[in-house]
């Protein structure tokens, strides 16, 4: 997912630019509710994280389609 920041990020040991591939890939998956996310990963999800995917499993980041609106650079789980 690409996000637009309200102000420039300060690069440090925790914030670094990401190298993007020359051929962009995507996966069309739903964003899960906070409740489902916490139930799947108890105590591991912070307010700055989200889960995406299917509770029953299935597609993951290795099964890609042509680029559309999603480029996942944030935690995406299934």
**Residue 26 CB-half CA count within 13 A:** 11
**Both tokens assigned to 65:** 């389609």
**What pLDDT, on a 0 to 100 scale, did the predictor assign at position 60?**
56
Listed by start position, the domains of the chain span: 23-78
- Per-residue pLDDT reduced to its tens digit, 27-53: 778 888 989 888 888 998 888 888 888
Distance CA 75, CA 32 (A): 12
| pTM, rounded to two decimals | 0.43
Q: Burial level of 4, CB count in 10 A (0-12/13-18/19+)?
A: exposed
Q: What is the CATH number of domain 23-78?
A: 2.40.10.10
């Amino acid at each position: 997912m690409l996000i637009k920041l309200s102000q420039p990020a300060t690069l440090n040991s925790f914030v670094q630019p990401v190298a993007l591939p020359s051929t962009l890939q995507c996966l069309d998956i739903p964003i899960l509710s906070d409740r489902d996310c916490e139930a799947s990963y108890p105590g591991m999800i912070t307010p700055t994280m989200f889960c995406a995917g299917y509770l029953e499993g299935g597609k993951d980041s290795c099964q890609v389609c042509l680029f559309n609106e999603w480029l996942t650079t944030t935690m995406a789980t299934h």
